[in-house]
Chain A
Amino acid sequence: MSAPAIAPASAVAGIERLLGTSSTAAPAASGGSGSFSSMLLDGVASVDRKMAAADAQVRAFAIDDSIPVHQVTFALEQAKLSLELMLQVRSRMVEGYQQIMGMQL
């Protein structure tokens, strides 16, 4: 609720970086480089780390199947859950952004 109200500019920048399409809001990002967008970036980096960890587990298991299977499936599941969380955050933020953009002035 309050996330779009706090810092719309940095929220937009966060979404843009999240989607990898930094077309317009680059100056806004430098202006409002608050903790919100860095928090988002940290979240994306953590998802990325979990994905890489799961990938490494699958690779290790393919080479040497002496590591327990549940460690592989656990890493995959964790990566999936954090991706799911990221998608949820993204869709809520896009929703908030669109509501603000549609606001009557």
Chain B
Amino acid sequence: MQAMEISRTGLDVEWRRLEVIAQNLANANSSSRPGTEGYRALQLVSGPRFADHLGGGGSGRLGGVQVYGVEPSAAAPRRVHEPGNPNADADGYVTYPGVDHAGEMTLMVTTSRAYEANVVAMNTARQMYMKALDLGRGS
């Protein structure tokens, strides 16, 4: 069951990562009023989780992965000359968040593949469990 539990944490994290990517892409064209801080691209930070963090079992047990936090990225905002836009500043520039489109798409593919890999690992663990139940059956 432990292997399945680990895969489940992987699924949780990748699901969360996809939500962050979706949020970034959805806000790629959110302009901000001059003088206010607009949307900033978010980045999910994840890392290993050990079971003894949760107080379970001895040290060295594997606990999967966990989300450490969702941090705004340091990417500089994009400034576009659009004098007609209501959000334009005095010089006619509109500020858009610095969402890296290509990077987000790449990350999305990676996330999707990682999710699938976790599902495959979980199914393998399940098959092994079922095989173990077959041990000595029908004798």
Contacts and interface: CB of A to CB of B under 8 A. Distances in A.
Interface of A: 68, 70-71, 74, 77-78, 81, 84-85, 88
B112 to A, nearest CB: 13
Interface string B112-139: 0000000100100010011001000100
Nearest to A80: B126
Given A78-B1, A78-B4, A88-B137, A71 B12 contact: yes
Given A68-B15, A74-B8, A78-B4, A84 B137 contact: no
A39 to B, nearest CB: 17
Interface of B: 1, 4, 8, 11-12, 15, 119, 122, 126, 129-130, 133, 137
Binding site secondary structure of chain B: helix
A70 B130 contact: no
Contacts of B11: 68, 70, 74
A23 B6 CA distance: 43
Nearest to B15: A68
Contact of B133 (A71, A77, A78, A85): A85
A50 to B, nearest CB: 10
A95 to B, nearest CB: 9
B137 A68 contact: no
Contacts of B130: 81, 84
B129 A71 contact: no
Contact of A84 (B1, B4, B122, B133): B133
